[in-house]
Amino acid sequence: MKNNKQEGFFLWETILLSMLLLAMAASAGMYMRAAQLKYVVAIEGRADYLARAQISYAQAVLDKEGRLPQRMDYWGDKHDLQLNGINYQLNGEAAADDKGLWQLQVEVSWEANGRQGKQEYKRCLAKHK
């Protein structure tokens, strides 16, 4: 029998090509997941910004007037509620307790790409003296 040095190379080439294709498919999947996660984090980051702004506005009103309305819409610029085709909705509720503290609950909701999301924030506010 002849010993041919070319035997088996096709098998090794096929195995290496398969491994390369698997690595490329895995990296493409990770890239898509990272891009999706980046999009979700951007949406939730905007919700955090809106809620913190509303809490700051509520603190300013409390310091100026000494009380908060029971229900409140967003007190900032209405253009803040729209970004990149995503419409945010913000609702706030405030209640006073017997110690002069105000319990503020801010709810930010949105709809993006057919999916809905919602975040709730609760803070305890007091009038600054």
pLDDT score recorded for residue 111: 87
pLDDT in tens, 84-93: 888 899 999 9
Global pTM reads: 0.71
pLDDT in tens, 57-83: 999 999 999 889 999 989 988 888 888
Those residues of the chain that have pLDDT short of 50 are none
Radius of gyration of the chain (CA): 28
- Cα–Cα distance for residue pair 106/100, rounded to 1 Å: 19
